[in-house]
A and B are shown apart, each in its own frame.
Chain A
Amino acid sequence: MSNIEIAIAVIVVMTLVGLMFGIVLAFANKKFYIEINPLIHIVEDILPKGQCGACGYAGCMAYAEAVVINPDVQPNLCVPGKAPIAKMVAELTGKAAEEVEPKVAFVKCAGSVSKAKKAYEYKGVQDCVAASLLQGGPKGCQYGCLGYGTCVKNCPFDAMTMSDDGLPIIDNKKCTGCGKCKTVCPKKVIELVPIGIHVALNCNSKDKGVITRKLCTVGCIGCGICVKNCPHGAIKIENNLAVVDCEICVSVCSETTCTYKCPTGAIKNSIEKIEETSTVAAESSKNKTISN
């Protein structure tokens, strides 16, 4: 065979082979066609795509599929999306939207390196989970933030940074309340609190007051002064720790008596209103001292 004949043979054979596979695939495509609801893609496009899993599904795609196909799946499960996304998803899927309560993550510990005692010097892997495997971590307080930033590394929205003092700082503008940090924290020191709560307890210690005092200068000692001073009964003491009832606190309270009555400063004004409320509290505390 001459070169030209070979070239022609190659072209013919490859065309035929390609054509054959193409036809087979085309038939297979028809035969094995699965109808996918186009709505799934539209819904997926709306979702924030942080793939955080706060909705309880493997990712945004899985949630979009579930919310379109299954009539029992609520349209408001996307926590980062908050109310606007819930509304859009509800409109698209023809379901009634309920309010998603907007929440942000909050670290229930103020025991920074300078304020809390250490039990030992830890030089291992710089990760909270690893550190907590060794005698519960190097911090004296067994309930406090270890400060190795496992939450910071796992935040899908880049809303957390580590302060120099060994406590994570949450950017409330970026935090979507997905709760990923809450799940990865080995100390369970991160909580989701509703936006607009006036006070927050910066402590997670369930130790008795005496022990807490020894280990940390800003811990909640469970003294109950806040309970007595809260005019609305929003605070209780459970396991040597003050617990703030968010519902009462958000809806009823306007003055934050508890914050300046707290002897250790474990209760603080919180979330977004920090500057506003702290001046109010300072003023009212001044008034109190004058009237006394």
Chain B
Amino acid sequence: MGHYLTLLASNIVVNNFVLTRFLGLCIFFGVSKSLNASIGMGMAVTSVMTLSSMLAWVIYHFVLMPFHLTFLTTAVFVLLIASFVQLLEMVIKKHAPTLYNMWGIYLLLIATNCIVFGVPLINVENNYSFLESTVAAVGAGLGFALAIVLMASLREKLRLADVPKALQGLGIAFILAGMLSLAFLGFSGMISV
């Protein structure tokens, strides 16, 4: 139990995928302009990442390993995640229209995103068990949600700040992300997994 909690905490804070491993930066900057959108995005990424990690683990251990095709992992995972996101979108659109209205548009944005793709791949490389990779994916998703919500709150405040003209928009956002990242790097080494 303690091991799983450590794994979860490590992926949320210490090894935060956005701020210390620099994955998923495009959505991190693209959708962090408003708090509402960033919460939706965080939820979408967390759920997609968890489900696709579970699926990827099954495919890796029951298809790729027995047939000695592990060198195809990257290609198969890309296919898997892209089609899984499509499927998920259809299911949600049909059975949960309210949920679809809330964050349906974010689903397709993350279909082939590096963070969604990177987490299952890292899980496989670390030889995690099924449960471990699920927990790691949940942690990574929550970490992403934390990072993007923090960023969006800061950027909403920033809209009213007197930013020098040359830095307005993305420029100041990059600086802000760098400072956030510095803060998160302060956790590094606290938990080694």
* Interface of A toward B, CB cutoff 8 Å: 9-10, 13-14, 17-18, 21-22, 24-25, 28-29, 32, 34, 124-125, 127, 130
Contact = CB atoms under 8 A, between A and B. Distances in A.
B80 A21 contact: yes
SS class, residues of chain B in contact with chain A: helix
SS class, residues of chain A in contact with chain B: helix
Interface of B: 67, 69, 72, 75-76, 79-80, 83, 86-87, 90-91, 93-95, 160-162
Given A13-B69, A34-B93, A24 B87 contact: yes
A36 B80 CA distance: 28
A13 B94 contact: no
Given A21-B83, A24-B87, A32-B93, 18 more contacts: A9-B69, A14-B75, A14-B76, A17-B76, A17-B79, A18-B79, A21-B79, A24-B83, A25-B83, A25-B87, A28-B90, A32-B94, A32-B95, A34-B93, A125-B161, A125-B162, A127-B160, A130-B160
Contacts of B160: 125, 127, 130
Contacts of B161: 125
Interface centre among A22, A25, A124 (most CB of B within 10 A): A25
Contact of A10 (B72, B90, B93, B95): B72
Contacts of B83: 21-22, 24-25
19 contacts: A9-B69, A10-B72, A13-B69, A14-B76, A17-B76, A17-B79, A18-B79, A21-B83, A24-B83, A24-B87, A25-B86, A28-B87, A28-B90, A32-B91, A32-B94, A124-B162, A125-B160, A125-B161, A130-B160
Nearest to B75: A14
Contacts of A34: 93-94
Contacts of A32: 90-91, 93-95
